[in-house]
Structure 1
């Protein structure tokens, strides 16, 4: 439910239009980087699930390094210059470009014949959407009263998951399940998998429009672009020099840096792992995605209220524990067993989807995983909105993006390296448990400061 704005907040249409950003961008994460395109990329474009998982890890590592280096800089410049919408427009355009280009990712590509170009387009799409998120997130504190931040953040994430769910249904019913997909696409050349790139690009370009029309933005500060850059860089340098004054915020950013690595890795590699161990097609992956997304939406809506009642910190910690258990459960499946020892038949070649006990167990853990995705992401955003100093919100959301990406290359890089070294997927994915444990432990040290708290 969309929360009231409180004193000085945006109109209901303005708040809903802000939340539509999550609806607009979520198909990129859902059908491109998680459930449909990336499993197709690793298993079919590359042609080897193990090598493909390694390449995907390297791609996300490259994007993570760029985002980590540039997000705080861009946030500081935006705080100096004023409006966030022009930045959002520019980076949405970048994501649309990268996403649309995935149509040309054909089966059996090799490094010297276009594979690096496709990997570059994945990097461009990812940095576009992630940079846009920095500026969209920074608009949140100006839209509702502080005590209602959790509900609006959770509403946005929940709306986003519903958008991703609808996108998955469109892919399944329109392209994956029919013998003849919409628009006469050719399944033999995997056009039904490749179409998700252009579809996500068009979706993003259309549904971002309400934010530009109806959501209020901060005014211009009368600076030229060059002055904004100089002042923004100077402000960032000053903030970095004074980080000792924001020790609690820094502690939170470090904790999030670690546990968010694990969350992004689980989101990004769960479909890849399932495609590798079960041989799932895009249809099975789409159904898996629908299940995860349904429960993620439920978790986001419920988690928003939980955030405002219990606080962001307890909501994050509960979510980290739940995601850790779900990941451990997923890793326990393989070689004809679940829970590391209970016999469970794997799917037979050519068998019906989800007919094997091992697949049932995987889906149980997928439901648990989905339930904790939404609260973890929504409460993390709310925690930053509560802690950011007034007048420095975008700059601190830039640091927030930095904390989300500064080591975000490390988890995919480690997964890729361990996978390549071990020649198997399970050891590579297992490294995320280390990130969950460290990040959750550090989060225990963070002090949540609500409006009116001392210090």
Structure 2
């Protein structure tokens, strides 16, 4: 009986040839180009800036500090919830459409425009709260662009090498992404983001005449992300070529029918169904942890955006190194053991963070003004960054092992669906827990349970993925 790997079409290039190497390097360039939207936008610069602006706005309406912080976190949660629902509904249909159309590059271009437009629009969020709702919508548009382009670029991964090479290629791609993210974060912190005195981290005024009073250095994060993406997508555009595929007429109706067929087949495809379910929960928890890590530090530990940025640099450096190492290990032992180990690590870190405040750690009182919570959270950030990066890279490898060889974009559309079908759940549960408790710290508790559900479902996942041709036939 042939294995899935044996049935998979040959990649467009030999991965050892000059053309194949350029194709892989071009594919890695996408991770480098797109990561700043998540590193700078979602987690370490714009997210905390949005939270601080929203909190100040709600303070001005008469709420006390704790209530204003909770309202700010709830608003950010609402934006991520709505965006996640849109992505969950559209992702698998778009994947099937792209497979049936035979081309993925036009979709990458189209959603890159969403990415750039959304990022550019973040500039308009003023410190007084003007454009607060507009910025939330613009951020969602850019995030949709980032997520959808990732679906189509991820679907190219099976074509880049043989089965035992995919883990290394995936891990190295994520490592380059984190390296790009940390470099972009360095640039923003050193040259743009204002301190309390209106100077940047190294004592310079923001460049290009940006007004620190209007927080224009921090607000420049949006245009910076957009320009970064456009420049570093050039190698992807020049070097990446997709394998030719036959076009299937039928449009949206055929795409929806294909998705329905796949979903109906899941009860007999136990490993795939279990993996999609598992990743649905643990990736939702991870994204929520990334999303609210910076805002948590801002609201609970009262960190400045610069402190959050330094936290992000430490996390991103750890991510780049560990993800590259993780990709090598993935190629040797497979993705499943790595996924299990990383989930357990992230659960432990979440439990530790839940018991930490500025005044105490799990009931152990700290001296007034103690720096222990700051040091502890920096360490937690490094662990979260490292474990989260490895988890994402190995998850992508595991999806390749479960993908139908003739419909990779549809598979990664389902993968996006599994990551977004409950993507509203993480922010929504944080919203619910925060609202009920009135405490931004306790709002993080649901993430532990989401990780735990994902861990249990992995029991039914075949570490080799799908090996029976009957399982991948439609």
Question: TM-score normalized by structure 1?
Answer: 0.92
Q: Does 1:444 align with 2:466?
A: no
Q: Does 1:237 align with 2:260?
A: yes
Structure 1 residues 162-171 or 411-420, which shifts more? 411-420
Structure 1: unaligned runs, 5 residues or longer: 348-354
Structure 2: unaligned runs, 5 residues or longer: 1-12, 57-67, 194-200
Work out the CA distance in 2 between the residues paired with 1:171 and 1:117: 23
Structure 2 counterparts to residues 123-202 of structure 1, below 5 A: 123-176=140-193, 177=201, 178-202=203-227
Work out the CA distance in 1 between the residues paired with 2:17 and 2:275: 28
Shift of residue 85, structure 1, vs aligned partner:
1.0
- Report the 3-state secondary structure (helix = DSSP H, G, I; strand = E; otherwise coil) of the residue aligned with 2:422: coil
Structure 2 residue corresponding to 1:429, chosen from 418, 435, 444: 444
Aligned to 1:106: 126
Shift of residue 343, structure 1, vs aligned partner:
2.9
- Report the 3-state secondary structure (helix = DSSP H, G, I; strand = E; otherwise coil) of the residue aligned with 1:107: coil
Structure 1 residues 161-170 or 357-366, which shifts more? 357-366
Work out the CA distance in 2 between the residues paired with 1:173 and 1:130: 28
Q: Are the counterparts in 1 of residues 15 and 24 from structure 2 also a CA contact under 8 Å?
A: no
Q: Does 1:307 align with 2:330?
A: yes
Work out the CA distance in 2 between the residues paired with 1:5 and 1:387: 22
Q: Does 1:215 align with 2:209?
A: no
Q: Does 1:68 align with 2:88?
A: yes
Shift of residue 239, structure 1, vs aligned partner:
2.0
Q: Are the counterparts in 2 of residues 326 and 366 from structure 1 also a CA contact under 8 Å?
A: no
Work out the CA distance in 1 between the residues paired with 2:41 and 2:305: 12
Structure 2 counterparts to residues 253-264 of structure 1, below 5 A: 253-264=276-287
Work out the CA distance in 2 between the residues paired with 1:445 and 1:173: 47
Aligned residues: 439
Work out the CA distance in 1 between the residues paired with 2:431 and 2:368: 25
Partner deviation per Cα, 1:414-449 (whole Å, 9 max, x = no partner): 101221222111111111011111111111221122
Shift of residue 453, structure 1, vs aligned partner:
7.7
Work out the CA distance in 1 between the residues paired with 2:208 and 2:368: 35
Q: Does 1:92 align with 2:112?
A: yes
Q: Does 1:416 align with 2:431?
A: yes
Runs of 4+ aligned structure 1 residues displaced above 4 Å come to: 4-10, 450-455
Question: TM-score normalized by structure 2?
Answer: 0.88
Q: Does 1:16 align with 2:38?
A: no
Q: Are the counterparts in 1 of residues 398 and 465 from structure 2 also a CA contact under 8 Å?
A: no
Aligned to 1:332: 355
Work out the CA distance in 1 between the residues paired with 2:17 and 2:395: 24
Partner deviation per Cα, 1:377-405 (whole Å, 9 max, x = no partner): 00000000111111021111100000000
Work out the CA distance in 2 between the residues paired with 1:23 and 1:334: 35
